[in-house]
Every structure is written in C-alpha cells, then in structure tokens.
Structure 1
Amino acid sequence: MIVRMIGTETIHVFLVVVVLVDGKSMHMGKLERETVEDHIVGMKMERDGDVNKNYHHEVFLGREVTKIGDTRAALTKIFKNVDANSDSLIDEAEMTDWVLTKTREHFLEARSNNKLAIEKLDVNKDNEISWNEFLSNLIAENAQEREEVLKRLNNNEEVHVPPEFEEKVQQVHESWIRVQDIGKKSLTYEQFFDFRHPETSSDTLQFLVEDILHDMDMDDSNDLTVQEYVAMPPGVDVDSMKDEWTVERRKEFRNVIDLNKDGLVVVDELKAYLDPLSHTMAGQEARQLIGFGDSNEDGRLTLEEILENSEFYTGSKLYNYAQSVHEEF
C-alpha cells in the first residue's frame, strides 16, 4: 500500500512487500515502534472485543502483575493492604476499593509510559505529535529509514507501507482523527494519551464502544445478543456449546455485561462494562474475586482462602502453604 497524507485524508494506491525509500529496502537495526495495542491493562475487554484473560490478575496485583516472585509472600502482603480494617477478612467494600486503586495505578503507569513515548515521537520538539511523526515510527524499520519516511510524508510524497501494517494504519488513523481537533494535524500530549488509552476519557470510551459494536453487531440493531457476542449466527443454541472460549464469553455476557438480564447488551451496558473506573463494575469484579476463593461462601475472604486458591489471583498454584500461613500474623 502507498500512502500520501494530504490534510487528514489517506490515499491508498497499491500494495508492496516492504517499506521502500528510493526503491531500496533499508534494514539497519530494528526501530522500537510505538503503536496502539489491542490489549489494555486493567480493561475487561480488548480493543478487538476479546475478553482480557489477565484482567482479574491485573486488578488484583496491580503493577506487580508482571513481576510477582514469591507468591505466598506477595499474596500475604496484598491481603494486609486490602484488609483496611485489619479484621483478617476481606469484604466486598474493601475489595471494591482495592480494584479501583489498582486500576488507577495502571492509569498512572500508562501516563508515565505515554510521556516516554511522546519524548521519542516528538521529532521537532513542538510539544505535539503529528500524524506523520507517529506513522513514520510505526512503519519504518530503523531510525535512518524513519527520518526518510517522515521527510517524504511532510513533503506529501508517496510512502510505501508494508502489507502487514496496512490494516493497522487504517485502524489507528481512524482513532487518531477522532481525538484530533478540527483543522489540526497534530495531537497535544493529552490528546495523544486519549488516543492510546480511550478507556480513560468518557468521550473516547464512547468511541471504543462504537468500535466494538461495529465489529460485533451483525444486524446493525445497536445492541448485542449472546449469539453475536460469541460470534455465532442468530438462533444458534450457544448453551449447547462446550468449548472453553464460548463458555467464558457466554458467562461474561449473561453474568456481567447484561445488567438488566433481558438478553441484550445495549450501548449503556457495554459502556459501563468497559469503564474501568465504574464503581458498579468494580463492585462486580470484587464479588468475582471473592467468589474465586470463598470456600465457606460467607461473602468474605481469609488469607487461607486466597492462598489455597492462589491460581485465580496470580495464575500460580501454591502447595503446602498451610504450614507457614499463620506465621505471617
């Protein structure tokens, strides 16, 4: 695909295999690209509509999700932090507060990462990121090639885009235009953050809802049936399907997203589900997290219950924990 940027319009001409500059492929060391990933840490759903399988771990562990070491020690420390009234029990209110705290923690980390990305992308140091600056970083293989690509884009010259980036370029350009001010060709630092993290802004969260509806709503009814949510045709008996993916999606649809249990997920329900700072959804997640380990079904968690069911909270199963659990107290 060849692109030439004219204002905010993209002209697509034809496909090529690699990025070319003056007819030559340039490979001089990989460039660390800044793009827009499907996965958003601390969000229940990916941008492409898939369920975030790591969500429970992310909102329970916070920033420790990628570096947890001694599982028992980490869970014991977390338990003490969640147990705000120090009664050796975690109730729904305490877990809800913890989920919201960990979600905000992910947001702070995202802002820190956004600052680093901006420093790398803002080539002319004008405190804004132009589409050309972002695109050149996305499609170039190395720093020298990026400089050439950016120069061509700024001069409205044709630039070849690798086929593997064609769909991504189209997707991110649509998202870019949504947060861009009319008549502007660049994003401010705050707009660039909204572009990368639509879940943090009410307006851009709405765009995320629209994107997911566009991909899933097969009959254009502006709502979702359980069949659409599990990518099945109308009328298919999804309850008879036993594969893990379908079962997981079906449960998520009925038990979490469809708040009024009428068999349809409407825009407001989907937006509430996707809103990471929704107190209602945080409470629902708190009940799920408690349910994973609530062996005696009293609606609360003890440290022993968390350690016994550690795989639901960290992905790792603990063995022989009982011998030392009480030593922590």
Structure 2
Amino acid sequence: MDFVWLTLMFGLVVAASAIPKPDDKHNPLEHDSAHKSHFDGEEHNTQYDHEAFLGEDEAKQFDTLSPEESKRRLGLIVDKIDDDKDGFINLSELKKWIQFTQRRYIDEDVGRMWKQHNTLNESSIHWEVYRHNVYGFLDELDPEELDREEHGISYKRMLARDRRRWGVADQDNDDKLTREEFTAFLHPEDHPTMRDIVIIETIEDIDKDKDGKVSVEEYIGDMYRSSEPDDQEPDWVIQERDSFAQHRDIDGDGFLDKEEVRAWIVPKDFDHAESEARHLLFEADENEDEKLTKEEVLDKYDLFVGSQATDFGEALARHDEF
C-alpha cells in the first residue's frame, strides 16, 4: 500500500464542489488532497486514480475508447518507451518514461492555470488576482455559508490554506508569483522548499480531532472506510496497522508527529519514478528476466492504463500522438 499512497499523496486531486458558485471553473478545492475515497470497501477504487490525474472530462474521453483501440495505443507507447529498439523495456527506460509523463503533466497543468490567472501574460501573478479568480465568490456569501464545509473543508479554511501556501512559494516576498514560484504553489511536492507545507497539509487532512498528530485510526481511516460497522478489515488494512506500529510510529507513543509523517510521505532518497517503474516491472514481468516485452505489457493492460506510465490513461486519449 505504500506505493499507492505515495503516488496519491504527490498527485493532483480534482474534486467538484456542491456549493453553488458564479463561475464553476474556478474551484478552490481543485488542489486539495482528500476529497474522494481511495478505497471502496476492500476494493481499490481505480476511478479515483483515473479522475484525479485526468480530470473528469479527460477520464470520460478515455472511457469512450474501445479496449481494442486502447490496447493498440498502449502498444505504440511501448514502442516509444523502448529507446534502444531492442524489443524490450528495461527498468531504466521505464523510469525515464515515467519521469517524462510527470514533467509533461506538471508543465501542462501549470501552463493551463498560468494562462487562466494571467490573462495579460505578465511576468508574475499577484495574490489578489488569484484570490479574486478562485475565491471571489466568497465576497457574496453570508458568514454561515463561509463556514459551511464541503468534503470536511470549508471554503474559508481553503482560502487560508492557499494563502499560507502562496506565502511559502513566494520566495522574494513581493506577494506575486513568477511562473517558477507558481509551479511550486500548484505542485509543492516537487519543490524541496515546499516540503514542510506538504507535511503540514497532510497532517491537517488526516488529523480529524485536530490535536496536531496522527493516530493509528486516523492513519487507517484516510485509506480505508468499512461499509458496515461490523465489517472485518481486509488483510492489507491489518498489515497497515502493523506497519504503523512497527515502522511509522518511531517513538512508539501511538501517534505520528510532524517528523514521523515526514519520514512516511517524504522519505529520504525516495525516487518516485523508480519506485513505480519497479512496481510495474515486478507486476508485469512474467518470465522474471527483469525486462518487459510488448506482449507482457499488453497482458497487464489494466495495470498500465491505471499507472503513471500512461499518465493514468491520459496518453491513451491523446489523438495527436497516434
């Protein structure tokens, strides 16, 4: 489960808000991290990954492709990953491709948001411009609506959270963000100077009783919710409880503090692309020769279209590449 959790913690989750707003395209929950259930009972909710990294419109576009067409496109992607054209994909090639999809996703997301909030194409975006675009509708709400919670988070708190993150990304303290700073604001997981804010926001998301630390029940509750009160926990949840006690809770006090959360979600020397490449290789390498043929990839079609190797399916929906 560590692999799945780390993938999602560093991802961008797009969630729709149920509170009416004048312009629904500016969604203050867009860059929050905890609005959809990752697991539905014991089953892994693959649609979570699908929509979180594609957005609902792109996910729907992918869903319209026939399995035959999807597999055809996946086969073409395999040919691209195979740099040396030897008919096999090795760990290095797979890691390189995943790094490419990560960079492409971030570049395109930042480009879209930069254009949306910087219509005059200036060198930076002022906080007040961003606040007006995303949270301007709050000016028309009464105090009760401001404090109303959606998915457990109020818009008032989301505004404060974005304001704090903006301040951390603003390295020269001019209350404006250059494109590089704006990238750090939207994707703090990829910037060393933003790691502390990632830790703080993670704790805030999981820490339901707001005591500043994460209990084992909060840790489990963020990944798994039983459908019935008396449901027996699946084996992976029991394993996660053991992992919490044996590996996460370093001082053995029954809680995760800031540094223990840091060690959990931002481990030293952790290479996300290599971790995912190893995961995919392990799952698909039927003959255990530490490399993949096109046939092995296509045999694990469901695994790859739900992985970052295809931008969680997005690459399969790019008509201009095929």
Normalising by the residue count of structure 2, what TM-score does the alignment of the two structures yield? 0.58
Contact 1:90 1:301 (8 Å CA) reproduced: yes
Structure 1 residue 211: deviation in Å? 1.7
Structure 1 or 2, whichever has the larger Rg, is: 1
Alignment partner of 1:131 is 2:127: yes
Matches within 5 A, 1:1-329: 30=23, 32-33=25-26, 35=28, 37-38=30-31, 46=33, 66=59, 68=62, 69=65, 70-120=69-119, 127-140=123-136, 162-163=145-146, 164=148, 165-180=155-170, 184-216=174-206, 227-231=217-221, 241-242=233-234, 246=237, 250=240, 262-264=247-249, 266-272=261-267, 280-315=271-306
Contact 1:226 1:250 (8 Å CA) reproduced: no
Opposite residue 242 of structure 1, the aligned amino acid is: P
Structure 1 residue 213: deviation in Å? 3.0
Contact 1:35 1:138 (8 Å CA) reproduced: yes
Q: 1:303 to 1:279 in 2, by over 3 A?
A: farther
Q: 1:57 to 1:299 in 2, by over 3 A?
A: farther
| Gap regions ≥5 residues in structure 1 | 1-17, 20-26, 40-45, 150-157, 233-239, 317-329
Contact 1:31 1:140 (8 Å CA) reproduced: no
Alpha-carbon separation, structure 1, partners of 2:211 and 2:27: 35
Alpha-carbon separation, structure 1, partners of 2:89 and 2:299: 15
| Gap regions ≥5 residues in structure 2 | 1-18, 39-44, 149-154, 223-231, 250-259, 308-322
Cα distance per residue 1:26-69 (max 9 Å; x no partner): x9x74632645246xxxxxx3679769579879x99xxx75554
Q: 1:225 to 1:284 in 2, by over 3 A?
A: farther
Q: Identify the structure with bigger relative contact order (alpha carbons < 8 Å, sequence gap 6+).
A: 2
Opposite residue 102 of structure 1, the aligned amino acid is: T
Alpha-carbon separation, structure 1, partners of 2:36 and 2:49: 17
Alpha-carbon separation, structure 1, partners of 2:196 and 2:280: 27
Structure 1 residue 77: deviation in Å? 0.9
Opposite residue 81 of structure 2, the aligned amino acid is: V
Q: 1:210 to 1:293 in 2, by over 3 A?
A: same
Structure 1 residue 190: deviation in Å? 3.1
Structure 1 residue 209: deviation in Å? 2.0
- Residue in 1 that maps onto 2:8: none
Normalising by the residue count of structure 1, what TM-score does the alignment of the two structures yield? 0.57
Opposite residue 298 of structure 1, the aligned amino acid is: D
Cα distance per residue 1:152-181 (max 9 Å; x no partner): xxxxxx985743533322322222232335
Alpha-carbon separation, structure 2, partners of 1:90 and 1:225: 42
Q: 2:118 aligns to what SS in structure 1?
A: helix
Contact 1:36 1:172 (8 Å CA) reproduced: no
Q: 1:297 aligns to what SS in structure 2?
A: coil
Please report the RMSD computed on the Cα atoms of aligned residues, expressed in angstroms: 4.5
Cα distance per residue 1:1-45 (max 9 Å; x no partner): xxxxxxxxxxxxxxxxx99xxxxxxx9x74632645246xxxxxx
Contact 1:131 1:185 (8 Å CA) reproduced: yes
Give percent identity, aligned residues only: 22
Q: 1:187 aligns to what SS in structure 2?
A: strand
Q: 1:107 to 1:54 in 2, by over 3 A?
A: farther
